[in-house]
Structure 1
């Protein structure tokens, strides 16, 4: 597993742009060091113009790649075109499937199923409220194993205070497919969920 996936606390930060046409996100450790990044891939000029002049882009297919600090791809995320519910297909750098994130409901507290590469449930992402700002990631036994939040405390509060940051805290004992999918969830929170607002 790439070194990036060994971190237990990280911050996903949307890179500031004058006009947001291509989504880019920095991934930093708790000390503010760059440890990776997420980039939206494969947008044509026409698609960028469409995104600039309308909001129809939110219903189209989105492709993202998660890179480590050296620029090596470690994960691909594809959110196919959607109408109501999002699905995010997660792939390894070689193109083989790694799992899926599937939206389970539209109203109330949003929930997403986490599936492994065989389509078997391995956990869930659960929004803590209807605005979906904070998420718990639970395993199949209902134990919380990770948290994605916009609430920062302690040293992190001074360094990361804008609304474009998510803090990801992962149980150090979490490993395997659920750890991998937790990083996918962290990448997908803003790319697949919040961009739809």
Structure 2
């Protein structure tokens, strides 16, 4: 009889289990492969419409789009607190559970940006709202202004979503939330006798409220770091308007409660002439 074929030792026998595919069972026969999340549809629909966002972005903004209350907390750098040298504006936006959902940061790195932020009178600030995963959700640009403050808001795909424009009012404070087509979507009104409260009205009905919260004696005395709450009525279900309310809260803070600087030619008083 012939010799048996030599199979070699066990160490010479290599089995590539990773390359083997599992055989489909009876329950898998004819099953369709799992569907992948729908990609973001940039440039489709109204700017900022959540229906055209990616699934990851919609889930990250769930609190902004659906929560009854949001908390917005401002941060200050140590150098800024000690000597008044202005750093970048930074905020954390969290839901009712206290978990951060959006982080807002002012762009511009290096000493040149820091010098421009402190000394250039025509400085144009840009605040980017980022998700926890690092996805851009919205951007707010604050141009220099002569009398009335203004914020230009762009959606996640770079399209203009609207503007928040300060208006003249003899008693109290007012902003208009304007769409990219020029239509007034809502107004932000701050009663004269309630300086820390700003009501968002749509067709005369209150849909949300921005409130500045007491941050403690030491923080209120020695720092400009502010805390805000954004409270939404159940009727406020428009995802685009809710994003613009968040942008309005940023503009309210930098217009009325940021004593470090002012982008108006005539100083802080020009911002509260109304």
TM-score by length of 2: 0.61
1:166 is matched with 228
Question: Does the CA-based 8 Å contact 1:108-1:130 persist in structure 2?
Answer: no
* 1:126 aligned onto 2:182: no
Distance 1:123 1:109 in 2: 17
- The count of corresponding residues between Structure 1 and Structure 2 is 186
* Aligned mates of 1:130, 1:22 — CA distance in 2: 31
Kindly provide the CA deviation profile for residues 47-70 of structure 1, in whole angstroms up to 9, marking residues without a partner as x: 313545x5x65x521111112232
* Other structure's SS at 2:104 match: strand
- Residue 156 of structure 1: aligned partner: none
Q: Which has the higher strand share?
A: 1
1:22 matches 2:88 = yes
What residue number does 1:91 align with? 154
Give, in whole Å, the separation in 1 of the partners of 2:200 and 2:99: 24
Q: Runs ≥4 in structure 1, deviation > 4 angstroms?
A: 160-163
- 1:127 Cα deviation (Å)? 1.1
Choose 1 or 2 for highest CA Rg: 2
> For residues 38 and 165 of structure 1, what CA distance do their matches in structure 2 show?
14
Aligned mates of 1:142, 1:12 — CA distance in 2 = 26
TM-score by length of 1: 0.82
Q: Deviations over 1:5-28 (max 9, x none)?
A: 222211110113211411100111
| Cα-to-partner distance string for 1:104-135 (whole Å, 9 max, x where unaligned) | 02653110001112110011011122784210
Q: Secondary structure at the match of 1:187?
A: helix
Alignment RMSD, CA only?
Answer: 2.4
Aligned equivalents of 2:194 and 2:200: distance in 1? 16
